[in-house]
């Protein structure tokens, strides 16, 4: 199933719910498809998923820009973009090498290789939840050991990766995906791979407590959205009069804003 076919299916999905962590207004915009053009990180993450999970599709569609500086040769770059599907354009040979190195490192990890090799990839599931209606997800992998979520990351180590996961609401996505396959498996896995040297790979089994928390929060957000839908009102993050404050980092709190590269969580 192509992305366009999946996108056309009715139902809420994990990327909608993660926007719901910000506000119902953000979630409504996501449901309506009023989201920004994918960032370079999202594009790279999509290419990596294809390179690892659908190598034949990647080989058939991916093209590499080899025309040098896009700034110095803007006309040639624009012509190249018009000639090819932009989703499949690799910026240069270095990006191609990075994608290949990431794939090689995943398969060099025996646990990651086993999970990937023994699973079906890009598996679509549809189901219903009381008070929510149609739901959908597209699993990176589904096999005898459980469902698999593949994440490319900028993180240099495990603590940084876990902090990124928390900021981006990955637990909601994981809970949502477990809801989709509860009749098939109770187990879930995350495979992470750094998108630059040294391209480290992590294989993480998801604890039951995290999956349950994700399920509960995902269902709560989905039901809240349906309530807002019935009322025709989608509150933003600041309803009513608010107290103006300085940023959290001024007082030494962890108020860092995730970088653009972390937007790959939308995958």
Query: How do strand 89-90 and strand 63-64 relate by DSSP bridges?
Result: parallel
Q: How confident is the model at residue 105 (pLDDT cuts 50, 70, 90)?
A: very high
* SS3 per residue for 165-233: HHHCCHHHHHHHHHHHCCCCCCCEEEEEEECCCCCCEEEEECCHHHHHHHHHHHHHHHHHHHHHHHHCC
Query: How do strand 133-143 and strand 146-153 relate by DSSP bridges?
Result: antiparallel
What confidence score (pLDDT) does residue 261 get? 43
Asked if residue 257 belongs to a domain, the reply is yes
Asked if pLDDT for residue 257 goes beyond 50, the answer is no
Whole-angstrom distance, CA of residue 56 vs CA of residue 255:
42
Q: How confident is the model at residue 247 (pLDDT cuts 50, 70, 90)?
A: confident
Query: How do strand 146-153 and strand 188-194 relate by DSSP bridges?
Result: parallel
Look up the pTM and report it: 0.87
Q: What is the mean pLDDT of residues 106-130?
A: 97
Q: What is the mean pLDDT of residues 7-16?
A: 94
pLDDT digits (tens, 9 = 90+) for 37-62: 567 778 888 899 999 999 999 999 99
Asked if pLDDT for residue 71 goes beyond 80, the answer is yes
Asked if residue 74 belongs to a domain, the reply is no
Asked if residue 21 belongs to a domain, the reply is yes
- What CATH number is given to the structural domain containing 22? 3.90.320.10
What confidence score (pLDDT) does residue 262 get? 41
Asked if residue 82 belongs to a domain, the reply is no
Q: Which domain holds residue 198?
A: 3-34+109-238+253-266
Asked if residue 39 belongs to a domain, the reply is no
- 253 or 159: whose pLDDT is higher? 159
Number of domains in the chain: 1
Share the mean pLDDT of the chain. 90
pLDDT digits (tens, 9 = 90+) for 138-156: 999 999 999 999 999 999 9
Q: What is the mean pLDDT of residues 185-191?
A: 96
Residue pair 192/204 in contact (Cβ under 8 Å)? The answer is yes
Asked if residue 73 belongs to a domain, the reply is no
Asked if pLDDT for residue 181 goes beyond 90, the answer is yes
């Amino acid at each position: 199933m192509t992305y366009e076919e999946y996108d056309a299916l009715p139902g809420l999905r994990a990327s909608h719910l993660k926007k719901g962590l910000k506000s119902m207004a953000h979630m409504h915009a996501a449901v309506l498809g009023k989201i920004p053009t994918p960032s370079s990180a999202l594009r790279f993450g999509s290419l990596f998923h294809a390179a690892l999970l659908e190598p034949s599709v990647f080989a058939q569609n991916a093209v590499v820009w080899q025309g040098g500086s896009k700034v110095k040769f803007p006309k040639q770059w624009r012509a190249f973009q018009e000639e090819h599907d932009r989703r499949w354009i690799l910026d240069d040979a270095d990006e191609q090498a990075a994608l290949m190195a990431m794939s090689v490192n995943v398969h060099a990890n025996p646990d990651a290789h086993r999970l990937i090799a023994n699973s079906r990839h890009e598996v679509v599931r549809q189901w219903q939840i009381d008070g929510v209606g149609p739901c959908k997800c597209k699993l990176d992998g589904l096999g005898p050991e459980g469902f698999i979520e593949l994440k490319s990351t900028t993180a240099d180590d495990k603590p940084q990766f876990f902090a990124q996961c928390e900021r981006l609401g990955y637990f909601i996505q994981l809970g949502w995906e477990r809801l989709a396959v509860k009749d098939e498996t109770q187990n879930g896995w995350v495979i992470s791979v750094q998108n630059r040297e040294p391209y480290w790979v992590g294989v993480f089994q998801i604890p039951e407590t995290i999956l349950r928390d994700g399920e509960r929060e995902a269902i709560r957000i989905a039901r809240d959205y349906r309530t807002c839908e019935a009322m025709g009102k989608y509150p933003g993050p600041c309803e009513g009069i608010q107290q103006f404050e300085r940023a959290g980092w001024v007082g030494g709190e962890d108020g860092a804003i995730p970088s653009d590269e972390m937007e790959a969580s939308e995958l």
